[in-house]
Amino acid sequence: MTAKPKERSAARLAAVQALYQHEMESTPQAQLLDEFHRHRLGAQIDEDQYADAEVAFFDDVVKGVLARREEIDTLLAAKLAQGWSLARLDRTMLQILRAGAWELMARPDVPTGSAISEYLDVAHAFFDAREAKFVNGVLDAVGKQVR
């Protein structure tokens, strides 16, 4: 059974949020996944209804990024313009790039264009068009290298 596209999109957005939380609070992976499974994915918090997400895909992205973070960061750093470093990037932006790069590296079942487009959508949820173009450029360069 394949997940609906909306559920996979929701999983990507939630994965970026979970990675951000891990980055800011060093939440252990098991606790992080449990918290999102029980309280975020498909839940209603205050006025916000969180979309149902493909839980297995969410887990795959979060675990994959955390397991291969050094490798991912090395790859991303090589794609930044001269004078830029990962440390200069907005923390949310960095998580979007990490998740997108991991998916391009580790999920050949997801077409390159689809993966990039999905993370562009995530970027648009947080940033304006200029930053979204940046995500597009970096992930496109990553895709060309790893695929």
For residue range 28-78, what is the model confidence (pLDDT) as tens digits?
999 999 999 888 787 665 666 556 789 999 999 999 999 999 999 999 999
Question: What pLDDT score does 38 carry?
Answer: 87
Question: What pLDDT score does 15 carry?
Answer: 97
The first and second tokens of residue 34, run together, are 């449990």
For residue range 71-123, what is the model confidence (pLDDT) as tens digits?
999 999 999 998 899 999 999 999 999 999 999 999 999 999 999 999 999 99
For residue 5, the 8-state DSSP code is H
Q: Give the model's confidence band at 1: pLDDT under 50 very low, under 70 low, under 90 confident, else very high.
A: very low
For 22-81, give the DSSP string.
HHHH---HHHHHHHHHHHTTT-EETTEEPPP--HHHHHHHHHHHHHTHHHHHHHHHHHSP
CATH 1.10.940.10 fits 5-142, yes or no: yes
